[in-house]
Amino acid sequence: MTVEHTYDAVVVGAGGAGLRAAIEASGQVRTAVISKLYPTRSHTGAAQGGMCAALGNVEEDSPEWHTFDTVKGGDYLVDQPAAEIMCREAVDAVIELEHWGLPFNRTPDGKIDQRRFGGHTRNHGEAPVKRACYAADRTGHMILQTLYQQCIKRDVRFFNEFCVVDMLVDGDRAAGVVAYELATGELHVFRSKAVLFATGGYGKMFKVSSNAHTLTGDGPAVCYRAGIPLQDMEFFQFHPTGIYKMGILISEAVRGEGGILLNGEGERFMERYAPTIKDLAPRDMVSRAIYQEVKEGRGVDGKDYVYLDVRHLDPEVIETKIPDVTEFARIYLGVEPTTEPVPIQPTAHYAMGGIPTDTDGRVVTGENERVIEGLYAAGECACVSVHGANRLGTNSLLDIMVFGKRGGRHMAEYAAGAAQPAVETGAEKAAAGDLQRLLSASGSENVADIRDRLQDTMFDLAGVVRTAQGLEKLQQELGALRERYGKAVVGDKGRMYNTDVMEAWELGALLDCADTLVAAALARDESRGGHFRDDHPLRDDASWLKHSLAYRQDGGVRLEYKPVKMGPYVPMERKY
């Protein structure tokens, strides 16, 4: 049985970007938020360190300095007008959250306190600057809670534990989505004038990842299957300080508060790689430095990890400013950070690429950025592009607030003036067929085995350091995995809370995202930001100062490119 709904606007995903968009749209037009989780389970809640904005509460600062850092941090692949908007609107975004009750840490005179973060500097790289507004080391948790609270206040309509599995179109327009209700196994058709995807990242394609199990690239995959390209997929951020083997994030705030990295010889190695800002260099550089130390035999005990050290910090600072990550080390490693260094390794953390949008969240396709009417995306699943080839710490929370709001606002304006698109009866049939195929398959393959293999090979061959040889091998491997996926069996044949079939569907989304990532990474024979090619270690602006667009094409991925939107900042060598 299929249940039908009609809304003006549908938001897919209830993390920071989705909730912020919903707050903007819900008072204007009939809005529904569809989330495969309860909203407060979203991974925005796992963000720790802060949200940057040039408030200048503690030190002199300016939005222009923030913009420069963002562009340089993104290795000049950032669309500069978009970064300029984000950094300018950052100040209001933080103040808005405070007015909604977010419990920021405070300065002695009662203002929002600020601290240092990687790649954020004073006056174009002179020294680290205190720009990150924070609530201990649970800033993301407080943002998610605050946004959800505002949604309750506004009586926003949620469909919780509904997984969107397909998109509806009317000609060239978005016309709604199809969602699988976990509780009942029923498909729901949501007819809607506008759809905004805010489904987050796809870090679960990697073995060691800070991402939640549910971050499987659903929104990007649904769009990709509908013919929309995915932009800059080769750029994936590996955060330098994940808990060894588990990948759980240890915030950059730890280094912002004075923590340092040590190799197996006890050396503060970042002094060699980034003499000016040392341990607070951008994440791509720190992750590569760790890789290099390990490769040259200076990992701890010759293994593939190094230490994050806070033993020299005031215990008061540890307990009040980074309490949660300190607890993670105690629980998951059995390490006491006040007296022992913490074993860490780079962990797959953040997708810079995703569904291409303009600065109003409108999804755009092709080299000329044709707008797809009624279709929007925001947050990690989108690519504006404000992060370019490498995102600076804290800019993701900023991104979801600024572009969630802009996308939600534009969506509401559009939906208020648009007619309800036509949706044919039986629009859910394609999605129903996909799910039925998964449920009735009688092969011999196991979904978890295929996913394990995907995660292992992606982490090994498309991780911090890549080569043409490795990526070609990986492409073959992905082909083999897709074949196995066609024979995968789902053990649960029931209808209620069939999370087994859900996971099988999610694996399909991950495989699509992995295909685009590897194809774009293989093509880009240069090194830039989070994409490092050992066989092409230098940045090549003459050939590669451009965004990739990956289209689905029979049997593989077709790549196109479009120019980067430049601005006042001319690409220069990236030194810190």
Partner 1 sequence: MAEGTVPLTIRIRRFNPEAGPDPWWDEFTVRMEPSDRVLDALHEVKWRHDGTLALRRSCAHGICGSDAMLINGTNALACKVLVKQVAPKVTVEPIRGLPVLKDLIVDMEPFFKGYEKMLPYLINDQDPGDRERRQSPEQREAFDDTTKCILCAACTTSCPIYWSDDAYVGPAAIVNAHRFIFDSRDEGARQRLDVLGEKSGVFRCRTTFNCTEACPRDIKVTKAIQEVKRAIMFDRL
Task: Tell me whether residue 11 or residue 94 sits nearer to partner 1 (CB atom).
Answer: 94
501: helix, strand or coil: helix
Q: Which ranges of 242-381 does DSSP label H, i.e. alpha helix? A: 253-256, 270-273, 283-295, 315-321, 323-328
- CB 95, min distance to partner 1, A: 6
Give least dist CB 511 to partner 1, A.
17
Cβ neighbour number for residue 421 with a 10 Å cutoff: 19
Nearest approach, Cβ of 49 to partner 1 (angstroms)? 14
What residues contact residue 156 under an 8 Å CB cut-off, 6+ apart?
22, 23, 26, 31, 33
Query: Nearest approach, Cβ of 388 to partner 1 (angstroms)?
Result: 27
Per-position DSSP letters for 422-482, written without gaps between them? P--TTTTHHHHHHHHHHHH---SEEHHHHHHHHHHHHHHHSSSSB-HHHHHHHHHHHHHHH
In the structure encoding, which two tokens stand for residue 224, read together? Answer: 């990709």
From 442, 449, 451, 509, select the one nearest 180 (Cα to Cα).
509
Q: Between 82 and 179, name the residue whose CB sits nearer to partner 1.
A: 179
How open is the CA angle 278-330-453, to the nearest 5 degrees?
A: 80
C-beta closer to partner 1: residue 498 or 548: 498
Torsion sign (Cα): 550, 514, 482, 161: negative
Which residues, in sequence order, are CB contacts of 317 under 8 Å at separation 6+?
257, 258
**What distance in Å separates the CA atoms of residue 330 and residue 479, rounded to the nearest whole number?**
41
CB of 226 to partner 1, least distance (A): 26
Residue 347: helix, strand or coil by DSSP?
strand
SS3 27: coil
CA torsion sign, 204 to 210 to 212 to 218?
negative
Closer residue to partner 1 (CB): 257 or 284: 257
Q: CB–CB of 530/237 below 8 Å? A: yes
Cis peptide before 385 (omega within 30 of 0): yes
The region, left, alpha or beta by phi > 0 then psi within -120 to 50, assigned to residue 281 is beta
Q: Tokens standing for 543?
A: 């050939």
Q: How far is the CB of 227 from partner 1 (least distance, A)?
A: 30
Least distance between partner 1 and beta carbon 549 (Å) = 31
Tell me, letter by letter, the H, E, C secondary structure of 372-414.
Answer: EEEEEECHHHEECCCCCCCCCCCHHHHHHHHHHHHHHHHHHHH
Candidates 20, 173, 191, 283; catalytic one: 283
Beta carbon of residue 247, minimum distance to partner 1 (angstroms, whole number): 9
Residue nearer to partner 1 on the CB measure, 276 or 446: 446
Is 157 one of the annotated active-site residues of the chain? no
Q: Mapped to the 3 state alphabet, what secondary structure does 168-210 carry?
A: EEECCEEEEEEEEECCCCCEEEEEEEEEEECCCCCHHHCCCEC
Closer residue to partner 1 in complex, CB, 36/191: 36
Q: How does DSSP classify residue 534?
A: T
CA distance 131 to 113: 9
Q: How far apart are CA 557 and CA 520, in angstroms?
A: 9
The residue behind tokens 């607890």 is 327
**Least CB distance to partner 1 at residue 109 (A):** 7
Residue closer to partner 1 by CB (options 112, 402) is: 112
Longest dimension (CA), the chain: 67
CB of residue 423 to partner 1, shortest distance in Å: 29
Q: Which element (helix H / strand E) includes 230?
A: strand 230-231
Nearest CA-CA partner of 477 in 503, 504, 452: 452
Please state, in angstroms and rounded to a whole number, the distance separating the CA atoms of residues 165 and 438. 13
Which residues lie near partner 1 (CB under 8 A)?
A: 37-38, 40-43, 45-46, 92, 94-95, 98-101, 103-112, 135-136, 138, 141-142, 145, 149-150, 152-153, 183, 212-214, 244-246, 248, 324, 328, 331-334, 343, 446-448, 490-492, 494-500
Q: How far apart are CA 11 and CA 42, in angstroms?
A: 14
Output the smallest distance, CB 333 to partner 1, in A: 8
Active site residues: 283
